[in-house]
Structure 1
């Protein structure tokens, strides 16, 4: 059977009238929302069968791509051990195994240099804490959520999700006897031990999938006796919690998209009432950590009260609303992101000039020591530092051309020690690849950064038109920073230029960059992306037919919008778990996570201006019958709770009805928002997507 003779499934039209603010919309495919309906499942399976048939010719290429990534990855490997208490903790992988294995080995007193462990070699004194492969047996999907060890090292807590719903079941094991305790807690989010290891603190969600309640479970007691520590009734606010590195306080964090509030609970008395640090005020966000400076308990508060890009202040623990000592003043264009307190200093992560930065703040001198790196584009961050006081500070580092590295700063000397670099097997040479940043001009004059990476042997971008893979996101102030990918090498080595459009709605250029791409400014996200695509065409980097655009989740909304607004600019569009029926979802407060999203997109249910504005861009309502759409592939999952499968299912059906000639959807029937589980499964799924892109780019 020829590919042209394969016919796509046709969804039945069953119009439902939706009316808001005097405006009516006939929705012919809303019936696909009935997840438990056998007709809906049959339609999704028909979509999968169609996609399988249409892409069958790519199976050899998919297998080749899968083998390429396998050939680059050291399948039997292990992480750099992290010192916590009397143990070195690490994870390892084994060739042929889908999931990681969590282990530990005893540490010598006073030894803070991680042991040099050889992949595949026996580790003296190794204790296997959790084998994800054993836990995953019998399940099509497996995701490890919480993983925590009691401070004395005697107990293990872990949680698992086996259907992609992001609802986790907590288990506890005694590491001395090896026995699994009877304590099992269902339907949790976060979970961790109290410092004494006698209790578990965990969160649960409401019917809208919002984490809203914090609980205390004392080991050995029934779950129905668990104590409610805190409940957040406001549907706009998510609840999260954590323990300060000082082990003094439980921090309860409450946050909407634009407002936050934090409370402290002394760990010596978890039955007390939590103490509010700063009462919530609409539009004010802040985060708190505990420090001890010259023997005095202080709170370091990162906030945006009158400081768009945030300011860091220190306040007395005894009077948090009293005098604010400014440690890092607000500086326009320098977006302070995160502060973590240690015994003698705090780590600071921030953005400046569109790039992430990392620094150390000395409590006593007030000096900020920036950790410098040589590459023009990179990502650096602090990670894996559980101890209140240690002679080394661990960091992660990567770039488009530099495989991920684990570094440790020796605090006494400032020297950087490379503890491990991600191995890339074969003949990988970073010097064979180039990276740089260029700038596109948006319709309103804004300068939008574009990051590029390519293989030098094909010539620099712009010397002749090349195939381009253009990626974008542009929501939630989330930044897409330069990171290495072994899978991406399969594109670069075939002559593809990978580009990231750092559009508004993201956080690359500071808080204003985010605010200029949300709510009633959301269209800037789409026009920025289009401007980036046009810039790449006008500067000779590529041509429209040789450019594939990709985005996922909120970036999938971006894909749907630009497909409607500028279909002529792209040869193909890959939309992962795409938020393409945004107006329908945001109008329905009964759907998971809708109310908490109103601060990001606006509230179209109660505000006619927001409704009218969203209706101008939401992809499903704006499909055109006068446009020649590029090839489109939508990827989704049946159990996704963040972007429901129904959104791409409706979108694909409507595109076909409008005359789009080449639209496909692939629905994973046992996965969630993150797609399939297991590293080999994930490689195969990505190989499927890359093979489709290469086919669009005429490189298959």
Structure 2
């Protein structure tokens, strides 16, 4: 260690007493002045000192950091494409270049496109096959328009496959001819989301000058000034999202807050208005889709977690429960087909996809029977991410499933719901001689102080660890907003650098996430938030007692709300951890919520919520 580093001392922040009082409770904060980072020159100077101190302390690792970065980068292919998705007569996909950081949106023609899709279909790429068509090149648009930053945030093909609409990161929606790339429409400004409503129109959401969310109908060929506003709410606490049914005959508008939501439906064949979809209850979240003369609804709340039901399009009050609520089972997603329904669930943190045959359109549907469980999953998927089951064609029997685990890279399968046959369509290529059989995944349980079982996901490399307590271990946690591992876990390619050096990686699935259903989230928020912290500590204690690591080699990590978790456990059990990484942590929670609340945060602190439906105003209690 250099003498320069030995003499270095961290800068000390001055203490400026600041008294805060609310509900008769007084609290003194000596560092409140540091919140004014944008204007106070003293704060700027202090941050500069902290940065210089950090740079000097880490200067000896600069070369090592550079080597690690190059090692990580070398594992990824320079040129790669996404999994091709069949839409009508073409395969659509994205081409990425590692060195360019921009995306090309491409397609290839399917010569025999009238044949029904099969799990054995392969996109033709030979020299005698139809050539690749580059529809949009982000890099070309960026330089052509002298833009500093350019991204396409949504790309949607019209139902007849003749037009492509895409949203730019500035909020502009452009429509082009899919054959020539020529503009087919003047750009529509200020869009947040959009969905095709047939071949000649689309719906889009936006916020007006005072942030009120709105839904607009645009017909191709008309000026944006002539667009029709189908829905607006004067409550800026609401967010609007758009979903197109798999049948493409209905669009669904979800108006949602943190505590409740409404769903409206739009009939593409009658584009005059939005229709409210009852029944509605406070606290229920719904996802809706369509087949034949029925809507299919996945709903969830704190009481019954989640279930699946159906109702006639012309009488939405006449509901039939197809999949009832089951304790600690969360229905994540439902995908409809002309003759099938696929249901993706999490049961005790384990993912499960079941497919069911549906009766012909028009025949009664009272229950789902004889389901077939997709068999490409193994128990290790309790620690994986399933990207979804959306990239499939409504008229086919082929279900597209994309996932990865803690030891398997991103993989895409096509699954035939009639035969149960699955075929691998793409697996992420990891360079450098990667072999997934060299890695071991385990699923363990720690017991919290109240007896609750907390899942722990573990991965390590064979023959690189001793499992005698001497191995270093990185424990990751989040546990907020009902987000589970599908929201924060990464492909194994990003972890090989530590795994190959004998470091064990683990995830603590603490309460506050969604691993065991809605109640798992509820039991880790608000007055139950302490459970998130004590669960994490219980996981750390278990790993130490089970000889995965010791207090001298346990590192912990979390970001944002997970950073708050790291800060809390450091204060509660500082002797338990050797290294802590708190990435953009939320650690001044009381001051932020009580004295600097955002308007959106007030809704969870109030006991009365005002919700407007059309011209009526309902007062609904949330306590």
TM-score by length of 1: 0.77
Report the CA distance between 1:548 and its aligned residue.
1.4
Report the CA distance between 1:536 and its aligned residue.
1.2
Aligned ranges 1:92-107 → 2 under 5 Å:
92-107=95-110
Partner in structure 2 of residue 3 of structure 1: 5
Q: Which shifted more, 325-334 or 522-531?
A: 325-334
Q: Deviations over 1:507-544 (max 9, x none)?
A: 11222211111111110001000111111112221122
Q: Is 1:545 paired with 2:552?
A: yes
User: Counterparts of 1:540 and 1:394 in 2: how far apart (Å)?
Assistant: 40
Q: Is 1:285 paired with 2:281?
A: no
Aligned equivalent of 2:588, options 577, 581, 585: 581
Matched-pair contact (CA < 8 Å) for 1:309–1:334 = yes
Report the CA distance between 1:75 and its aligned residue.
1.7
Q: Deviations over 1:567-604 (max 9, x none)?
A: 221122212232222333333676374246x2xxx569
User: Counterparts of 1:493 and 1:140 in 2: how far apart (Å)?
Assistant: 38
Partner SS state of residue 254, structure 1: strand
Q: Deviations over 1:310-342 (max 9, x none)?
A: 2211111111112x3221122212222221222
Matched-pair contact (CA < 8 Å) for 1:259–1:280 = no
Could you tell me which runs of 5 or more consecutive residues in structure 2 were left unpaired when the two chains were aligned: 360-367, 610-623
Q: Is 1:428 paired with 2:429?
A: no
Q: Deviations over 1:130-172 (max 9, x none)?
A: 22333455666554322222223333332333xxxxx634333
Partner SS state of residue 463, structure 2: helix
Partner in structure 1 of residue 612 of structure 2: none
Partner SS state of residue 192, structure 1: strand
Aligned ranges 1:504-653 → 2 under 5 Å:
504-587=511-594, 591=598, 593-595=600-602, 598=604
Matched-pair contact (CA < 8 Å) for 1:235–1:595 = no
Matched-pair contact (CA < 8 Å) for 1:151–1:196 = yes
Aligned ranges 1:221-260 → 2 under 5 Å:
221-260=222-261
User: Counterparts of 1:594 and 1:353 in 2: how far apart (Å)?
Assistant: 30
User: Counterparts of 2:137 and 2:159 in 1: how far apart (Å)?
Assistant: 21
Q: Deviations over 1:416-440 (max 9, x none)?
A: 1111111111221212111111111
Partner in structure 2 of residue 458 of structure 1: 464
Partner in structure 2 of residue 361 of structure 1: 356
Aligned equivalent of 1:471, options 472, 476, 479: 476
Aligned equivalent of 2:136, options 122, 125, 130: 130
Aligned equivalent of 2:403, options 394, 397, 401: 397
* Distance change (3 Å), C-alpha of 1:314 and 1:178: closer
Aligned equivalent of 1:25, options 24, 27, 34: 27
Partner in structure 1 of residue 449 of structure 2: 443
* Distance change (3 Å), C-alpha of 1:117 and 1:534: farther
Partner SS state of residue 2, structure 1: helix
Q: Deviations over 1:421-475 (max 9, x none)?
A: 11111221212111111111111111111111001112353x3321111011111
What is the total number of aligned residue pairs between the two structures?
587
* Distance change (3 Å), C-alpha of 1:48 and 1:87: farther
Q: Which shifted more, 511-520 or 9-18?
A: 9-18
> Which one scores higher on RCO, CA 8 angstroms, separation ≥ 6?
1
* Distance change (3 Å), C-alpha of 1:280 and 1:314: closer
Matched-pair contact (CA < 8 Å) for 1:589–1:595 = no
Partner SS state of residue 71, structure 2: helix
Matched-pair contact (CA < 8 Å) for 1:586–1:605 = no
Partner SS state of residue 380, structure 2: coil
* Distance change (3 Å), C-alpha of 1:374 and 1:382: closer
Matched-pair contact (CA < 8 Å) for 2:335–2:390 = no
Aligned equivalent of 1:486, options 493, 496, 511: 493
Partner in structure 1 of residue 164 of structure 2: 156
Partner SS state of residue 240, structure 1: strand
Partner in structure 1 of residue 340 of structure 2: 345
Partner SS state of residue 573, structure 1: strand
Matched-pair contact (CA < 8 Å) for 1:82–1:114 = no
User: Counterparts of 2:102 and 2:47 in 1: how far apart (Å)?
Assistant: 28
Partner in structure 2 of residue 303 of structure 1: 299
Partner SS state of residue 242, structure 1: strand
* Distance change (3 Å), C-alpha of 1:38 and 1:179: farther
Matched-pair contact (CA < 8 Å) for 2:412–2:427 = yes
Q: Deviations over 1:335-355 (max 9, x none)?
A: 222212221111111111321
Could you tell me which runs of 5 or more consecutive residues in structure 1 were left unpaired when the two chains were aligned: 162-166, 607-700
* Distance change (3 Å), C-alpha of 1:588 and 1:247: farther
Partner SS state of residue 313, structure 1: strand
Report the CA distance between 1:240 and its aligned residue.
0.9
Report the CA distance between 1:270 and its aligned residue.
2.9
User: Counterparts of 1:44 and 1:205 in 2: how far apart (Å)?
Assistant: 37
Matched-pair contact (CA < 8 Å) for 1:213–1:232 = yes
Matched-pair contact (CA < 8 Å) for 2:353–2:373 = yes
Matched-pair contact (CA < 8 Å) for 2:279–2:317 = no
Matched-pair contact (CA < 8 Å) for 2:337–2:394 = yes
* Distance change (3 Å), C-alpha of 1:217 and 1:585: farther
Matched-pair contact (CA < 8 Å) for 1:16–1:30 = yes
TM-align CA RMSD: 3.1
Partner SS state of residue 98, structure 1: coil
Aligned equivalent of 2:376, options 369, 373, 377: 373
Partner SS state of residue 379, structure 2: coil
